Amino acid sequence: MFWRDTLVKRYEPFGAAGSDGQPFTASVRKLIAPDGEFADLDMSRVAITRTRRLLRADGIDNIVLSVTLAGGGAGWFRNPDQTTRLGGSFVRVRHQGSPYVLEWTAASTRTLHVELPASAFDASTRDRILAAAGEPLPPHGLAPMLMAQMRALADAAPDLDALARAAGLRSVLDLARTLLELEFGSKSADSEICEDGMLIAAQALICRQFASPELAPDAIAHRLGCSRAHLYRVFARHGLTVAGYLREVRLQQSRTRLAAAAPRDTVGDVAYRCGFQDPVHFTRLFRERFGVSPGAFRSDSDHAKARLN
């Protein structure tokens, strides 16, 4: 089914579909929106190509950002005489409207893909993206954040309802477009077109690094490559503040961890692990947010666990 309905429509196979006498196997999960799609693909050894004949026939003109989670192989993109190793922990860009060859040689390879229409970018940005086809994106800025978001969506998607899957797809597509605009376009991080992706990237960064006491607006803006003033504007446009969002993430994490804390863990220990340096300040914020002190909340949680046991 996958071979007939997906691979053969977009690629031409060359050589055997499987290898060493083993049949070709694959599974794919896709999330599709009008302005892009996300795919989680797991397949055995296979060699496929986007030929000029196929390009003329299907007219697909998408930009693809890919991450290889396991396995790998080799291929070429702009130059048939220049082989590129496939795999590694980074985001790679390619163009569905240009010829290329992919030969996945591992027994099993898992890849994640985000596709955006090339028409979503202005001509100069699109030309620079096409010139970089096959290249890994620099492992800093938004690229590792996009990779983390893609992995999170792939892992969570099977258990999400339709609305949550749509929201997850929207966040990944916005972040992918922002990454390409910043990496290849004339837009700066302060431009309005990048704001949605910048908010998603900032929120993802906060959710991953909330425990760091050094995480503050200046540090977040520096990691994202924008000014602190622009970061404030991005959050304000959505009715949020940077400090308020960071505080909320830390408080929610502290409540979750207090409920599951071991007997040897003090309230101060939990507060510190969630990025709070001052236990007195943490206690005040916790009581204001949840209407109970962290000590009382933990005691209630301990009693509830004892009743269940």
Same domain, yes or no: 133 and 6? yes
Judge contact between 61 and 47, C-beta under 8 A. Answer: no
Tokens of residue 196, six digits: 């949605």
* Residue 140 confidence (pLDDT) above 80: no
For residues 134 and 262, membership in a common domain is answered with no
Instruction: Write down the pLDDT at residue 165.
Output: 87
**Can you read off the two tokens belonging to residue 264?**
């040897």
Lowest mean pLDDT among 144-153, 156-165, 178-187, 267-276: 178-187
Residue where one domain finishes, among candidates 138, 173, 193: 138
Q: Classify residue 24 by its DSSP letter.
A: P
Q: Which of 87, 107, 85, 103 has its CA nearest to residue 20? A: 107
pLDDT digits (tens, 9 = 90+) for 242-256: 999 999 999 999 999
Question: Which pLDDT score, from 0 to 100, does residue 162 have?
Answer: 86
Q: Does the pLDDT of residue 287 top 70, yes or no?
A: yes
Q: Mind listing the pLDDT tens digit for each residue in 197-235?
A: 778 878 888 888 889 988 889 888 887 777 888 888 888
Is residue 206 one of the residues assigned to a domain?
no
Structural domain contains residue 160: no
Same domain, 131 and 251: no
Residue 303, domain CATH: 1.10.10.60
In the DSSP assignment, the letter for residue 211 is T
Give per-residue pLDDT as tens, 52-64. 888 888 888 999 9
Contact indicator for 173, 35 with CB cutoff of 8 Å: yes
Q: How many domains does the chain have?
A: 2
CB 85 within 8 A of CB 58: no
Q: For residue 17, what is the domain's CATH number?
A: 2.60.120.10
Same domain, 130 and 253: no
- 267, 69, 37, 308: which is closest to 168 by C-alpha? 37
Residue 57 lies in a domain: yes
Residues, the chain: 309
Q: Does residue 214 form part of some domain?
A: no
Note if the pTM is more than 0.95.
no
Nearest to 250 by CA among 214, 220, 286, 280: 286
User: Residue 197 domain-assigned?
Assistant: no
- Whether 97 is covered by a domain: the verdict is yes
Give the residue numbers spanning the domain of 269. Answer: 247-308
Residue 228 lies in a domain: no
Token output for 21: 């006498």
Please say which residue of 138, 155, 175 terminates a domain. Answer: 138
Task: Specify if 152 maps to a domain.
Answer: no
